Structure 1
Amino acid sequence: MTSEVNMKKIAAEHAAKYVQDGMKIGLGTGSTAYYAILKIGEMVRSGLSIQAVATSDASEKLAMEQGISLTPIHQIDRLDLTIDGADELDDQLRLIKGGGGALLREKITAYHSERLVIVADEAKAVAQLGAFPLPVEIVPFAYEWTIRSLAQLGCSVQLRRKPDEGLYVTDNGNYIADCRFQEISRPEELSSRLGTVPGVVEHGLFIGMADQAIIGCRDGTVRLLHSASMQAKNTFDS
């Protein structure tokens, strides 16, 4: 039986096939995006020429180790493609992201990408979002007030911590509040409400951003999901 790690690798390596010479690429963060970076690094060492930006310090370090040259963001107006993971995704390609703590940089990068491809193992594909705690990046100032405001949205909130190191601090110097809703029946509404809470920098609901998901399955195959807009484009192109 194919292991979960292999499912991630299968999905990530399939996504790497979309990377073409001359592209401007966004490199995601997390255990599945890790395999995409490894594969892209292999392609670069074989002669692929790309410009790349990373969504976290960890991905930046891995990319450099793999020989992928990183371009300063101010030198790039728009990315052709970003490959990133997700903690949960539904059949409408609504996502929960941020388990790796890079949700703010991931959302900025996704927003400035022509195409966002999500890679995941099949356990991440769900009928309804919410079993995975929703990460919310908050500023340290008055974080206690922000946490109370988040709890009023109907969730239990826990500040993320690193084992034996105190509170988890993002690459941007903020905290992560993990919000347990159990189920999120109206992701769009929740996204709007989170945006009104002072102290919230960004949240891990990615709605209307993903163009395609590549899901690695236990049998060694991949399952593809496409956004409605991408399906329409493919129909038009055909």
Structure 2
Amino acid sequence: MDQLTMKKMAAEAALQYVKADSIVGVGSGSTVNCFIEALATIKDKIKGAVTASKASEKLLKEQGIEVFSTNDVSSLDIYVDGADEINPQKMMIKGGGAALTREKIVAALAKTFICIVDSSKQVDVLGSTFALPIEVIPMARSQVARKLVALGGSPEYREGVITDNGNVILDIYNFKIMNPVEMEKELNNIAGVVTNGIFALRGADIIIVGTPNGAKIIK
């Protein structure tokens, strides 16, 4: 079974958590695109969505789903997003699509964070297969990179990428994250870092994994 089919399975399984007349939190990325397509099939049952990226906002509008600002809502019942990696403790690395800051903002509004992934995203230790993205204010790029080298990482500037917030991305390679909560805090305390792609302080509540045997729900 191909990866796209497994992503679609996970995305469609997430529809069971969508409440009638609610505003749904929506992340970004290829798996979330599958969720937006699935959400369109029940768009008449919901009020609309709050999203974490301009790309997802465009797709939602194309599907006829009203998009609200984060400033329009005080909370969300659910937030549905993918991950680049997720560990058994439901902590994640996100930011492959450079939307990590806005994803953290929308996730913080949600009562329940539902992470939809295919089985290739499951790891025991974060940083095992995917670089850790960090959103950085442009003037601080070099000094932040030096701090990351001192912490044992190998940062690379993601050339040609500007986030929806007007910032740049550094990807840290060779950086296995043994204590995600403490590392998330430490990296966020570096001057010039907007946020990093570790989602440990606010991890997922439910994981839906697309597998060759169907969607598997982990609570």
Q: Same fold per TM (> 0.5)? A: yes
1:215 aligns with 209
2:42 aligns with 43
Alignment of 1:49-198 (within 5 A): 49-130=46-127, 131-161=129-159, 167-198=160-191
Question: Structure 2 counterpart of 1:215, which letter?
Answer: V
Paired residues of 1:116 and 1:210 also in contact (CA < 8 A): yes
Question: Structure 2 counterpart of 1:168, which letter?
Answer: V
Paired residues of 1:4 and 1:218 also in contact (CA < 8 A): no
1:24 aligns with 23
Same amino acid, percent of matched pairs: 39
Question: Structure 1 counterpart of 2:184, which letter?
Answer: S
Residue 182 of structure 1: CA displacement?
4.3
Tell me, in whole angstroms, the C-alpha distance in 1 between the residues paired with 2:177 and 2:140: 26
Distance 1:157 1:25, change over 3 A: same
Tell me, in whole angstroms, the C-alpha distance in 1 between the residues paired with 2:72 and 2:192: 30
Contiguous gaps of at least 5 residues in structure 2: none
Q: How many residues align?
A: 217
Cα displacement string for residues 148-200 of structure 1 (whole angstroms, at most 9, x for unaligned residues): 11221111000112xxxxx3100000001001134211212211210221010
Alignment of 1:219-238 (within 5 A): 219=213, 221-226=214-219
List, as ranges, runs of 4+ consecutive aligned residues in structure 1 with deviation greater than 6 Å. Answer: none
Please report the TM-score for the alignment, with normalisation by the length of structure 1: 0.88
Tell me, in whole angstroms, the C-alpha distance in 1 between the residues paired with 2:148 and 2:75: 33
What SS does the corresponding residue of 1:29 show, helix, strand or coil?
coil
What SS does the corresponding residue of 1:115 show, helix, strand or coil?
strand
What SS does the corresponding residue of 2:110 show, helix, strand or coil?
coil
What SS does the corresponding residue of 1:114 show, helix, strand or coil?
strand
Tell me, in whole angstroms, the C-alpha distance in 2 between the residues paired with 1:149 and 1:49: 45
What SS does the corresponding residue of 2:138 show, helix, strand or coil?
coil
What SS does the corresponding residue of 2:95 show, helix, strand or coil?
coil
State which of 203, 215, 223 in structure 1 corresponds to 2:196: 203
The more displaced of 71-80 and 119-128 is 71-80
Please report the TM-score for the alignment, with normalisation by the length of structure 2: 0.95
